Amino acid sequence: MRLAVISDLHLDINQINEEDALNEMAQFLLNQQIGVFVLAGDTYNHLKDTAAFAEKLSARLSPVTKVYYLAGNHEMGDKTPDQVLESPLDAHYLHRKSLDIGDYRLIGNNGWYDYSFDDGRHDEALIHRFKQSFWYDRRIEEVLSDNSRAARSAKQIQEAVLTAKAAGQKPIMITHFSNDQQLIDQLPFSRPELTVLKAFLGSKKLGQQLIDLQVPILVSGHVHWQQEPHRVQQTTFYNVSLGYRTRRIHEWRQGDFFQEWRERLLILDL
């Protein structure tokens, strides 16, 4: 079976017509004989819009392709309560769910960040003040500290990975937030004071734990920076973010959204 994953489409911010997106994606995915397609977060700025898009796309692709989605920080920023984000929601929501594909087990989790990518450069209180003053995620309901929320996610992920391995399945982990130290290390910042943003990109700690667990494939988004897949010990990291092309921000290599989507789409033959 063929698995396809993409994240950070930001269809609303990129001003992409929904009907065009549904038509183009459905045709391409069917032509490529994709069995499972995952939108790994930040499809829209509202969770209900991402859920509706997944449902509409699924209707066009069924029964050939199953469609799933995760919530990124942009979906979470619509004030959806934490308890709702942690619930099953609908058949397409992949958070805290798994799917067996042959010898592999696809595991989905939104993930979170624990400031470990900051490597202690900034005081945690300063990081939190920066977040609440400037960062998009100040909109997200804060029922737990970032460290506690990340620890909850890490526990869910580790339990799912261990369960998969006990069943003889090879885990494929898909999160919105990054666990890729090499990716974060190469990010350029225009001003030194902006390096505090690394704190909000994911979890270095979780990435190392998953390497230690010999998870063969880690897929994530969130970081709008294009990097080739790379391997650390037995684990291959993939970043599948598409990112923005607006009047002020130009993160695509292609001039056309759908050309960029096809180039950024990860396809794995399992």
Q: What is the pLDDT of residues 199-245, one digit of tens each?
A: 999 999 999 999 999 999 999 999 999 999 999 999 999 999 999 99
What is the pLDDT at residue 192? 85
For the chain, the domains span 2-269
Distance CA 175, CA 153 (A): 10
The DSSP bridge partners found for residue 21 are none
Instruction: Count the neighbouring beta carbons within 10 Å of the beta carbon of residue 125.
Output: 8
Q: Are 127 and 133 in contact (CB under 8 A)?
A: no
Pairing of β 104-109 and β 97-101: antiparallel
Beta-sheet strand order (sheet of 2-6): 66-70, 34-40, 2-6, 266-269
**Is the pLDDT score of 25 beyond 90?**
yes
For 258, the enclosing helix (H) or strand (E) is helix 257-264
User: Model confidence at 182, in pLDDT bands (50, 70, 90)?
Assistant: very high
Tokens of 123: 């005081």
**Is the pLDDT score of 81 beyond 90?**
yes
**Is the pLDDT score of 256 beyond 90?**
yes
Q: What residues have CB less than 8 Å from 212, skipping those under 6 apart?
A: none
Q: Are 3 and 35 in contact (CB under 8 A)?
A: yes
Phi and psi of 195, rounded to 5°? -65, -15
What is the pLDDT at residue 193? 85
What is the pLDDT at residue 247? 85
Distance CA 221, CA 21 (A): 19
Tokens of 186: 């190469």
Mean pLDDT of 138-155: 96
Q: What is the mean pLDDT of the chain?
A: 96
CATH number of 2-269: 3.20.20.30, 3.40.50.150, 3.60.21.10, 3.40.50.300? 3.60.21.10
- Give 94-134 pLDDT, tens digit per residue: 999 999 999 999 999 999 999 999 999 999 999 999 999 99
**Is the pLDDT score of 269 beyond 90?**
yes
Residue with the bigger pLDDT between 45 and 192: it is 45
User: Model confidence at 189, in pLDDT bands (50, 70, 90)?
Assistant: confident
Beta-sheet strand order (sheet of 97-101): 97-101, 104-109, 170-175, 217-220, 235-239, 230-232
What is the pLDDT at residue 41? 98
Closest CA to 5 of 47, 44, 34, 45: 34
